[in-house]
């Protein structure tokens, strides 16, 4: 995911941020901190969205697996 895409999702608090890799979130976090933003929210959005995606995939596997 590009930094611009991640910034857009971050500022919209969008769950699409959950599709970013951990390395991507690290890059976003570095940018946020360098620009006087708190990166904790990015990590929280990413973690929550990734967890939700994991549950959805497990539900789909159970239903259609």
Residue 4 has what pLDDT?
Answer: 93
Terminal C-alpha separation, the chain = 29
Blockwise average pLDDT, block size 10, the chain, 65 residues = 89 84 95 95 90 89 88
**In whole angstroms, how far apart are CA 50 and each of 10, 34, 35, 36?**
14, 25, 25, 25
Q: Which of 30, 35, 32 is nearest to 10 (CA)?
A: 32
Task: Tell me the two tokens of residue 17.
Answer: 């941020």
Residue 43 has what pLDDT?
Answer: 93
Residue 11 has what pLDDT?
Answer: 87
Residue 14 has what pLDDT?
Answer: 79
């Amino acid at each position: 995911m590009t930094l611009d895409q991640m910034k857009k999702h971050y500022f919209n608090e969008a769950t699409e941020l959950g599709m970013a890799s951990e390395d991507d979130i690290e890059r976003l976090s570095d940018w946020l901190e360098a620009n006087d933003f708190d990166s904790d929210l990015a990590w929280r959005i990413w973690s929550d969205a990734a967890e939700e995606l994991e549950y959805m995939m497990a539900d789909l596997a159970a239903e259609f697996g």
